[in-house]
Structure 1
Protein backbone atom coordinates (compact mmCIF):
# COMPACT_ATOMS: atom_id res chain seq x y z
CA UNK A 1 0.00 0.00 0.00
CA UNK A 2 1.12 3.54 -0.62
CA UNK A 3 2.37 6.15 1.78
CA UNK A 4 -0.95 8.02 1.80
CA UNK A 5 -2.88 4.91 2.75
CA UNK A 6 -0.46 4.14 5.58
CA UNK A 7 -0.70 7.73 6.84
CA UNK A 8 -4.51 7.60 6.77
CA UNK A 9 -4.50 4.31 8.64
CA UNK A 10 -2.19 5.77 11.31
CA UNK A 11 -4.40 8.84 11.63
CA UNK A 12 -7.47 6.65 12.02
CA UNK A 13 -5.85 4.68 14.83
CA UNK A 14 -4.72 7.85 16.59
CA UNK A 15 -8.15 9.45 16.19
CA UNK A 16 -9.72 6.56 18.12
CA UNK A 17 -7.35 6.80 21.09
CA UNK A 18 -3.72 7.50 21.96
CA UNK A 19 -1.32 4.71 21.04
CA UNK A 20 2.26 4.12 22.09
CA UNK A 21 4.83 4.13 19.33
CA UNK A 22 5.23 0.35 19.61
CA UNK A 23 1.46 -0.27 19.49
CA UNK A 24 1.07 1.90 16.42
CA UNK A 25 3.99 0.19 14.69
CA UNK A 26 2.49 -3.21 15.48
CA UNK A 27 -0.90 -2.21 14.09
CA UNK A 28 0.65 -0.81 10.92
CA UNK A 29 3.10 -3.71 10.47
CA UNK A 30 1.25 -5.55 7.73
CA UNK A 31 0.54 -2.44 5.71
CA UNK A 32 3.99 -1.15 4.81
CA UNK A 33 7.74 -1.64 5.17
CA UNK A 34 9.48 -1.04 8.48
CA UNK A 35 11.12 2.11 7.09
CA UNK A 36 7.80 3.52 5.86
CA UNK A 37 6.14 2.81 9.18
CA UNK A 38 8.99 4.41 11.14
CA UNK A 39 8.81 7.50 8.90
CA UNK A 40 5.04 7.81 9.36
CA UNK A 41 5.26 7.40 13.14
CA UNK A 42 8.13 9.91 13.32
CA UNK A 43 6.03 12.40 11.38
CA UNK A 44 3.02 11.80 13.65
CA UNK A 45 5.30 12.51 16.60
CA UNK A 46 6.63 15.72 15.02
CA UNK A 47 3.06 16.91 14.47
CA UNK A 48 2.16 16.10 18.08
CA UNK A 49 -0.34 13.43 17.06
CA UNK A 50 1.57 10.57 18.68
CA UNK A 51 3.29 10.81 22.03
CA UNK A 52 4.38 8.00 24.33
CA UNK A 53 4.34 10.45 27.25
CA UNK A 54 0.73 11.48 26.58
CA UNK A 55 -0.25 7.84 26.03
CA UNK A 56 1.31 6.77 29.35
CA UNK A 57 -0.32 9.62 31.29
CA UNK A 58 -3.76 8.91 29.83
CA UNK A 59 -3.40 5.18 30.38
CA UNK A 60 -2.35 5.62 34.02
CA UNK A 61 -5.14 8.13 34.61
CA UNK A 62 -7.72 5.66 33.31
CA UNK A 63 -6.38 2.63 35.22
CA UNK A 64 -5.11 4.12 38.50
CA UNK A 65 -8.40 3.47 40.29
CA UNK A 66 -8.27 -0.24 39.49
CA UNK A 67 -4.63 -1.30 39.48
CA UNK A 68 -1.48 -1.04 41.55
CA UNK A 69 1.77 0.50 40.39
CA UNK A 70 3.40 -2.85 39.61
CA UNK A 71 0.61 -3.88 37.24
CA UNK A 72 0.49 -0.48 35.53
CA UNK A 73 4.28 -0.46 35.14
CA UNK A 74 4.19 -3.94 33.62
CA UNK A 75 1.32 -3.16 31.24
CA UNK A 76 2.95 0.02 29.98
CA UNK A 77 6.27 -1.77 29.46
CA UNK A 78 4.42 -4.43 27.49
CA UNK A 79 3.00 -1.64 25.33
CA UNK A 80 6.53 -0.42 24.58
CA UNK A 81 6.67 2.69 26.75
CA UNK A 82 10.12 3.57 28.12
CA UNK A 83 10.67 3.12 31.85
CA UNK A 84 11.39 6.81 32.48
CA UNK A 85 8.08 7.83 30.89
CA UNK A 86 6.25 5.17 32.91
CA UNK A 87 7.79 6.43 36.15
CA UNK A 88 6.89 10.04 35.29
CA UNK A 89 3.31 9.08 34.46
CA UNK A 90 2.91 7.10 37.69
CA UNK A 91 4.30 9.95 39.80
CA UNK A 92 2.25 12.58 38.02
CA UNK A 93 -1.09 10.83 37.78
CA UNK A 94 -1.31 8.70 40.93
CA UNK A 95 -2.19 11.38 43.43
CA UNK A 96 -3.42 8.91 46.05
CA UNK A 97 -0.97 6.67 47.81
CA UNK A 98 -0.68 3.04 46.81
CA UNK A 99 -2.40 2.08 50.08
CA UNK A 100 -5.33 4.41 49.38
CA UNK A 101 -5.81 3.00 45.90
CA UNK A 102 -5.60 -0.56 47.24
CA UNK A 103 -8.15 0.32 49.90
CA UNK A 104 -10.57 1.69 47.29
CA UNK A 105 -10.21 -1.43 45.09
CA UNK A 106 -10.56 -3.74 48.10
CA UNK A 107 -13.60 -1.87 49.44
CA UNK A 108 -15.36 -2.05 46.06
CA UNK A 109 -14.80 -5.81 45.80
CA UNK A 110 -15.05 -7.03 49.40
CA UNK A 111 -15.84 -4.30 51.92
CA UNK A 112 -15.46 -6.65 54.88
CA UNK A 113 -12.32 -7.82 56.63
CA UNK A 114 -11.39 -11.45 56.04
CA UNK A 115 -12.95 -13.75 58.62
CA UNK A 116 -10.51 -16.63 58.30
CA UNK A 117 -7.12 -17.41 56.75
CA UNK A 118 -8.71 -18.80 53.59
CA UNK A 119 -10.66 -15.58 52.98
CA UNK A 120 -7.55 -13.54 53.82
CA UNK A 121 -5.61 -15.46 51.16
CA UNK A 122 -8.41 -14.98 48.61
CA UNK A 123 -8.50 -11.22 49.19
CA UNK A 124 -4.70 -11.00 49.13
CA UNK A 125 -4.55 -12.90 45.81
CA UNK A 126 -7.13 -10.57 44.31
CA UNK A 127 -5.14 -7.49 45.31
CA UNK A 128 -1.91 -9.10 44.13
CA UNK A 129 -3.35 -9.77 40.66
CA UNK A 130 -4.33 -6.11 40.54
CA UNK A 131 -0.66 -5.22 40.97
CA UNK A 132 -0.45 -4.08 44.57
CA UNK A 133 2.73 -4.74 46.54
CA UNK A 134 2.80 -7.43 49.20
CA UNK A 135 3.54 -4.99 52.03
CA UNK A 136 0.57 -2.81 50.98
CA UNK A 137 -1.70 -5.87 50.92
CA UNK A 138 -0.55 -7.01 54.37
CA UNK A 139 -1.05 -3.54 55.82
CA UNK A 140 -4.52 -3.20 54.30
CA UNK A 141 -5.78 -6.64 55.35
CA UNK A 142 -4.49 -6.19 58.91
CA UNK A 143 -6.52 -3.00 59.38
CA UNK A 144 -9.65 -3.05 61.47
CA UNK A 145 -12.86 -2.22 59.56
CA UNK A 146 -13.43 1.05 61.40
CA UNK A 147 -9.86 2.25 60.66
CA UNK A 148 -10.38 2.15 56.90
CA UNK A 149 -13.58 4.18 56.98
Structure 2
Protein backbone atom coordinates (compact mmCIF):
# COMPACT_ATOMS: atom_id res chain seq x y z
CA UNK A 1 0.00 0.00 0.00
CA UNK A 2 1.48 3.34 -0.97
CA UNK A 3 1.52 6.39 1.30
CA UNK A 4 -1.41 8.20 -0.35
CA UNK A 5 -3.75 5.19 -0.15
CA UNK A 6 -2.71 4.68 3.48
CA UNK A 7 -3.59 8.33 4.10
CA UNK A 8 -6.93 7.86 2.29
CA UNK A 9 -7.77 4.82 4.40
CA UNK A 10 -7.00 6.72 7.62
CA UNK A 11 -9.22 9.59 6.43
CA UNK A 12 -11.97 7.09 5.60
CA UNK A 13 -11.67 5.51 9.06
CA UNK A 14 -11.90 8.99 10.61
CA UNK A 15 -15.05 9.68 8.58
CA UNK A 16 -16.55 6.36 9.70
CA UNK A 17 -15.66 7.07 13.34
CA UNK A 18 -17.39 10.46 13.15
CA UNK A 19 -20.57 8.76 11.94
CA UNK A 20 -20.33 6.08 14.64
CA UNK A 21 -19.70 8.71 17.31
CA UNK A 22 -23.05 10.35 16.57
CA UNK A 23 -24.99 7.10 16.94
CA UNK A 24 -24.76 3.38 16.28
CA UNK A 25 -24.95 2.53 12.57
CA UNK A 26 -25.77 -0.72 10.84
CA UNK A 27 -23.08 -2.03 8.52
CA UNK A 28 -25.37 -1.34 5.54
CA UNK A 29 -26.07 2.24 6.66
CA UNK A 30 -22.42 2.99 7.34
CA UNK A 31 -21.33 1.71 3.92
CA UNK A 32 -24.08 3.66 2.16
CA UNK A 33 -23.22 6.92 3.93
CA UNK A 34 -19.51 6.59 3.25
CA UNK A 35 -20.06 5.76 -0.42
CA UNK A 36 -22.35 8.81 -0.67
CA UNK A 37 -19.38 10.85 0.55
CA UNK A 38 -17.54 9.65 -2.58
CA UNK A 39 -15.28 7.09 -0.92
CA UNK A 40 -14.38 4.11 -3.17
CA UNK A 41 -16.78 1.21 -2.54
CA UNK A 42 -14.05 -1.44 -2.24
CA UNK A 43 -12.16 0.61 0.35
CA UNK A 44 -15.40 1.32 2.25
CA UNK A 45 -16.27 -2.38 2.35
CA UNK A 46 -12.80 -3.29 3.67
CA UNK A 47 -12.72 -0.52 6.31
CA UNK A 48 -16.26 -1.20 7.57
CA UNK A 49 -15.43 -4.90 7.86
CA UNK A 50 -12.32 -4.02 9.88
CA UNK A 51 -14.36 -1.74 12.16
CA UNK A 52 -16.80 -4.59 12.71
CA UNK A 53 -14.03 -7.06 13.57
CA UNK A 54 -12.45 -4.51 15.93
CA UNK A 55 -15.81 -4.00 17.68
CA UNK A 56 -16.34 -0.38 16.67
CA UNK A 57 -19.36 -1.28 14.53
CA UNK A 58 -21.90 -3.93 15.50
CA UNK A 59 -25.18 -4.79 13.79
CA UNK A 60 -26.41 -6.40 17.02
CA UNK A 61 -25.66 -3.29 19.07
CA UNK A 62 -27.27 -1.07 16.43
CA UNK A 63 -30.37 -3.29 16.18
CA UNK A 64 -30.79 -3.42 19.96
CA UNK A 65 -30.70 0.36 20.18
CA UNK A 66 -32.99 0.80 17.16
CA UNK A 67 -35.55 -1.73 18.43
CA UNK A 68 -35.64 -0.17 21.91
CA UNK A 69 -36.25 3.24 20.33
CA UNK A 70 -39.12 1.90 18.18
CA UNK A 71 -40.72 0.03 21.11
CA UNK A 72 -40.51 3.29 23.07
CA UNK A 73 -42.44 4.91 20.22
CA UNK A 74 -45.05 2.14 20.65
CA UNK A 75 -44.48 0.55 17.27
CA UNK A 76 -45.50 -3.06 16.71
CA UNK A 77 -43.27 -6.02 15.91
CA UNK A 78 -44.30 -6.18 12.23
CA UNK A 79 -43.30 -2.58 11.54
CA UNK A 80 -40.09 -2.83 13.56
CA UNK A 81 -39.06 -6.00 11.71
CA UNK A 82 -39.71 -4.36 8.34
CA UNK A 83 -37.72 -1.25 9.24
CA UNK A 84 -34.75 -3.02 10.82
CA UNK A 85 -34.37 -5.59 8.04
CA UNK A 86 -35.42 -3.71 4.89
CA UNK A 87 -34.30 -0.16 5.67
CA UNK A 88 -31.36 -0.79 7.98
CA UNK A 89 -30.03 -4.02 6.45
CA UNK A 90 -30.01 -6.16 9.60
CA UNK A 91 -30.31 -9.91 9.03
CA UNK A 92 -33.76 -11.28 9.86
CA UNK A 93 -32.38 -13.92 12.24
CA UNK A 94 -30.50 -11.26 14.26
CA UNK A 95 -33.60 -9.04 14.50
CA UNK A 96 -35.83 -11.99 15.50
CA UNK A 97 -33.35 -13.13 18.15
CA UNK A 98 -33.11 -9.64 19.66
CA UNK A 99 -36.88 -9.08 19.65
CA UNK A 100 -37.46 -12.45 21.33
CA UNK A 101 -34.79 -11.76 23.95
CA UNK A 102 -36.45 -8.45 24.89
CA UNK A 103 -39.63 -10.30 25.94
CA UNK A 104 -41.93 -7.44 24.93
CA UNK A 105 -45.64 -7.83 25.70
CA UNK A 106 -46.98 -6.76 22.29
CA UNK A 107 -50.61 -7.07 23.48
CA UNK A 108 -49.89 -4.66 26.34
CA UNK A 109 -48.02 -2.26 24.04
CA UNK A 110 -50.92 -2.29 21.57
CA UNK A 111 -53.42 -1.65 24.38
CA UNK A 112 -51.31 1.24 25.75
CA UNK A 113 -51.15 2.86 22.31
CA UNK A 114 -54.90 2.39 21.74
CA UNK A 115 -55.67 3.93 25.15
CA UNK A 116 -53.27 6.85 24.58
CA UNK A 117 -54.66 7.65 21.12
CA UNK A 118 -58.36 6.84 21.54
CA UNK A 119 -59.04 6.66 25.29
CA UNK A 120 -60.71 3.89 27.28
CA UNK A 121 -64.11 3.93 25.59
CA UNK A 122 -65.05 1.37 22.97
CA UNK A 123 -65.56 2.68 19.42
CA UNK A 124 -69.03 4.20 18.99
CA UNK A 125 -69.66 2.77 15.51
CA UNK A 126 -68.13 0.64 12.74
CA UNK A 127 -66.46 3.66 11.14
CA UNK A 128 -64.62 4.54 14.35
CA UNK A 129 -63.75 0.87 14.95
CA UNK A 130 -62.23 0.65 11.45
CA UNK A 131 -60.26 3.85 12.03
CA UNK A 132 -58.76 2.50 15.25
CA UNK A 133 -57.94 -0.87 13.67
CA UNK A 134 -56.26 0.80 10.66
CA UNK A 135 -54.20 3.03 12.94
CA UNK A 136 -52.91 0.08 14.95
CA UNK A 137 -52.21 -1.93 11.78
CA UNK A 138 -50.14 0.94 10.40
CA UNK A 139 -48.15 0.94 13.64
CA UNK A 140 -47.23 -2.72 13.05
CA UNK A 141 -49.50 -4.71 15.36
CA UNK A 142 -50.99 -8.05 14.37
CA UNK A 143 -54.76 -8.56 13.98
CA UNK A 144 -54.71 -10.79 17.07
CA UNK A 145 -53.12 -8.01 19.16
CA UNK A 146 -55.45 -5.36 17.75
CA UNK A 147 -58.67 -7.32 18.26
CA UNK A 148 -57.63 -8.07 21.84
CA UNK A 149 -57.78 -4.36 22.69
CA UNK A 150 -60.28 -2.81 20.22
CA UNK A 151 -63.80 -4.06 20.82
CA UNK A 152 -66.24 -4.08 17.94
CA UNK A 153 -69.23 -1.77 18.54
CA UNK A 154 -72.47 -3.38 19.65
CA UNK A 155 -75.40 -3.23 17.22
Deviates more, 1:106-115 or 1:64-73: 106-115
Give 1:1-149 correspondences, 5 Å limit.
2-30=8-36, 31-65=38-72, 66-78=74-86, 79-93=88-102, 95-111=103-119, 112-142=121-151
- Quote the Cα distance in structure 2 between the aligned partners of 1:134 and 1:84: 23
TM-score by length of 2: 0.86
In structure 2, the gaps of 5 or more residues are 1-6
- Quote the Cα distance in structure 2 between the aligned partners of 1:113 and 1:4: 60
| TM-aligned CA deviation for residue 54 of structure 1 | 0.7
Runs of 4+ in 1 over 4 A off after TM superposition: none
Tell me how large the CA RMSD over aligned residues is.
1.7
3-state SS of the aligned residue for 2:150? helix
How many residues get paired?
Answer: 143
- Quote the Cα distance in structure 2 between the aligned partners of 1:27 and 1:88: 27
